[in-house]
Chain A
Amino acid sequence: MSLRVLIVDDSSAMRAFVRAALEVDGAVDVVESVSGFEALRILPRESFDVVIVDVNMPDINGLELVAFLRKTPQHRTTPVIIISTEASSRDQERGIALGANAFLSKPFEPEELRALVARTREARGDGRT
């Protein structure tokens, strides 16, 4: 079964980076969302193995999205990775407090993302590939 990932980021270059990093491993289905609002539309109807969220987005920020995910029945346990810049440890702490499983600081290498995605899936206990 292939890995299904949602990346929510208003930067198209960042989405392309995440897609390129994850698609190296073969059977990965990366769904892109350009905003928190678009993610709201996608999330209640879809399931994902991992959701990757940028914290600093206009309108609905990444933290609000994490809180929303944890309120959505089918996403109560979906692994969530938040992405922020190195300086915003405050936002990282808050994201974890709201229920994100892990955070990544920009800049990061593709390998770091792949390893983190693998770890968060294992932690959830369904590390099938």
Chain B
Amino acid sequence: MTTEGDKRDALRDEFLAEAQEIVESLSRDLLVLDQSQKESSIDPDLVNEVFRAVHTLKGVAGMFGYAELGRIAHQLEDLLDALRLGRVELTQEVLDVLFEGVEDFQRLLSEERTDGGKDERVSRSSRPQTSAGKSVAPSIAPPPAYLPPKPASAKPQEVDPLSQLDLDANVLAVLTEYEEHRLRTNVQQGVGLYRLRVRFSLASIDASLEELKARAKPVGEIITYLPSMEGGDGDHIDLDVLLASRANAGDLRDLLVAGGDAILSEITIRRDLKTPVPAPMPGGGTAEVQFPRPSAVPSETDAGVPRAPAELRDLSADQLSLRSVASTVRVDIRKLDHLMNIVGELAIVRSAVGRVTERIRGRPELRQLAIDLHRVNRGFERHLAELQDGILDVRMVPLGHVFDKLARVVRQVAREHGKEVRLSVTGAETEVDKLIVEELSDPLMHIIRNAIDHGIETPEVRTDAGKRRTGTLALNAYQKGNHVVIEVEDDGRGMDEKRLRETAIQRGIATSESAREMSRDEAYNLIFLPGFSTSASVTDISGRGVGMDVVKTNIARLGGVIDVQTEVGVGTKFTITLPVTLAIINALLVRVHDRQFAIPIAAVQEAIVLEKRHLRTVEGREVLSLRGSTLPLCRLTELFQLQRPIDDTVRQFVVVSSLGSRRLGFVVDSLEGQQDIVIKSLGRSLSQVRGLSGATDLGDQRVCLVLDAPGLLEEVLSATTDLGIGLGGYAS
């Protein structure tokens, strides 16, 4: 049963979801506008779309009582209205105001999502006229210069070009203010006006419309679509499309009337000026409106009017009437988590059935039963895998969501620092688990800020160095097996290996001896250590207390790794490798003494038998010679202080874990197979224990700890001190 409170929450969620969607598409459109402004080819449709987005946002913010959001939207709307009506020119300064508005929207929405109740919402009746509290007004209020006072109307002595059109007053009566403005502008610019009468099947109207739009876009601007009842039957509708185009009637006919069934007629512009501007019809709620009948339309018959394909026409009335155009639903991620947990439980049930089957198989008299059961279980397994893939697929969102946000950051930071930066993005369609995408934006933002602040040089420096004036920042994403790789690459000054070593010594991170012995890669990886910063001066964007060490930690928390490659004068490339999802992982089960551990298979390169004769000790650390290279080892017995008599005669295994370019071998007693596991977070007492990322239930009342391979790799390879981690009284 739903309560009033639930309904309110559902409405609020609906508002937040829509507002977020609007802000995201707004951001994308602004970036396109930014580009087209630089190329001086601004699409009026796009400006109108941006206006409409902000207009809708203002409307819903008002409806749902979000005063601050509504106020900012209102200010932007005024600016955008002036833009689309041609009263203000689109400049970089105007774009700055718009981008700031988007940032404000994002901030308000994320605040609302995180603090829920204590927001800026006020009931309309008590809404103060002046903005209360945390005002963002100063940053957003457009300077008055951008907003000339709205002209009261067209100057009286000027003849309204609309009055010169040979167009039915009833057509003009249904135009919105903006459509009227576009019509007027086109006429003033001497663009030809056409009326295209088309007949669309009601069943396929959306597709037909998109096709028409696509064909008309390159040659002109569609002002509006006027639905008409005349000539339409129950299955079809006639539309009068008002089109402005510089193309001549013949070419347009070839393009838009391809099959010869739509009807195109030119709207002439009269030079006699007698017709008054059509005014809204006075009062009365029953005005009859006659839609224009182009003289070229022969009669009520279907002759010469496009027909939908037969199969679409044959849909029955009931089938097509209430079908919605929107075929998507929004789902709370928590619901998907819940479904995923159930799949996890089912996977556990399946393993349990598998084990029971094995036991039955051991009894000769039940052999046939075991075979049957095994077959059924295989079917179960297959469908379960499909279910799991299906749910995982639903959780996936394109990285474009976070890339759009980053594009705004690039623009903003570049402007703040007087750098010229071109952003190139590939693979925005690469899909990653929604939760990973959410967590990625902060680390990526930091890398990008660093790249622009410290990496890319000023235009002058670049020119002097013989580079292109404008720096390039590339964001590339692609899928590689079960992983997604994201590269952030700049063509800036790169990092100086020598300076990195010096800084490490200065900061006490390395001794002069260890700094000298470091490999190139090790030197580059110094930047990921806490307390390390290479910039000579701390600027406002890098001095935010978040260093690359936090970036690395955040990425490791997502089961990913980050690597850096750099070359002085050429640029720097960060490569982030992430799992596609966090919800369920395939793990290698291992046994150490009397305990079982799961190692994420994504972190496992191979498992080999430990050959004692290949063991060596280097700098007090146990290593294994493996096919000519040296593999540092980590004994889980020691790591977790598991008491066990040393018995060198027992065969042991090494699980080689690799993340990025570094490797570590975990020494274990036995390998116990692979299994899909759903990671559950650890209880309080164990959540502080390093080296573990969670626990999982293997389905036979056995709890198994999940090894935090990336974390351990990090820690063991950089540690010089004792790493013993006590599991205390933890019982398996």
Contacts and interface: CB of A to CB of B under 8 A. Distances in A.
B65 to A, nearest CB: 8
B234 A45 contact: yes
A41 B281 contact: no
A42 B321 contact: yes
Nearest to A68: B227
A56 B52 CA distance: 8
Contact of A34 (B280, B321, B326): B326
Interface stretch (B7-15, B157-165, B298-306): B7-15
Interface in A1-57: 10-14, 16-17, 20, 31-38, 40-42, 44-46, 55-56
Q: Tell me the dominant secondary structure on chain A's binding face.
A: helix
A90 interface: yes
B62 A106 contact: yes
Residue in B60, B63, B205, B229 with the greatest tally of chain A CB atoms within 10 Å: B63
Contacts of A96: 283, 285
Contacts of A66: 174
A45 B321 contact: yes
A125 interface: no
B653 interface: no
Nearest to B237: A40
Residue in A34, A46, A66, A99 with the greatest tally of chain B CB atoms within 10 Å: A99
Interface residues of B, number: 60
Interface stretch (B175-183, B388-396, B678-686): B175-183
A14 B203 CA distance: 26
Given A58-B52, A64-B224, A35 B325 contact: yes
B288 A32 contact: no
Nearest to B203: A41
B321 A37 contact: no
B11 A20 contact: yes
Given A71-B229, A85-B58, A101 B326 contact: no
Contacts of B226: 64, 67
Interface residues of A, number: 53
Nearest to B14: A16
Contacts of A32: 324
A122 interface: no
Contact of A41 (B64, B170, B225, B321): B321
B596 to A, nearest CB: 48
Given A60-B227, A72-B229, A99-B287, A67 B325 contact: no
Given A34-B326, A45-B321, A94 B205 contact: no
Given A20-B11, A85-B58, A109-B124, A40 B202 contact: yes
B287 A94 contact: no
A56 B77 CA distance: 14
B325 A106 contact: no
Contact of B287 (A14, A85, A98): A98
B286 interface: yes
Residue in A41, A58, A96 with the greatest tally of chain B CB atoms within 10 Å: A41
B72 to A, nearest CB: 15
B129 to A, nearest CB: 14
Given A45-B321, A94-B173, A94-B280, A64 B227 contact: yes
B179 A14 contact: no
A71 B289 contact: yes
B320 interface: yes
A61 B224 contact: yes
Given A70-B288, A96-B285, A97-B287, A31 B322 contact: yes
Contacts of B371: none
In the A-B complex, the 10 residue pairs with the smallest Cβ-Cβ separation, listed nearest first, are: A107-B62, A97-B281, A13-B18, A71-B229, A16-B14, A45-B321, A63-B174, A67-B289, A13-B60, A68-B227
29 contacts: A12-B14, A13-B17, A13-B19, A13-B60, A32-B324, A33-B324, A34-B324, A34-B326, A38-B324, A41-B202, A42-B322, A44-B202, A45-B321, A46-B322, A56-B52, A61-B175, A61-B176, A63-B174, A64-B225, A64-B226, A64-B227, A71-B289, A72-B229, A91-B177, A94-B280, A97-B282, A98-B287, A107-B62, A109-B124
Interface of B: 7, 10-11, 14-15, 17-19, 49, 52, 55-56, 58-60, 62-65, 70, 124, 170, 173-177, 179, 202-203, 205-206, 209, 224-229, 234, 237, 280-289, 291, 317, 320-326
Interface of A: 10-14, 16-17, 20, 31-38, 40-42, 44-46, 55-56, 58-61, 63-68, 70-72, 85, 88, 90-91, 93-94, 96-101, 106-109
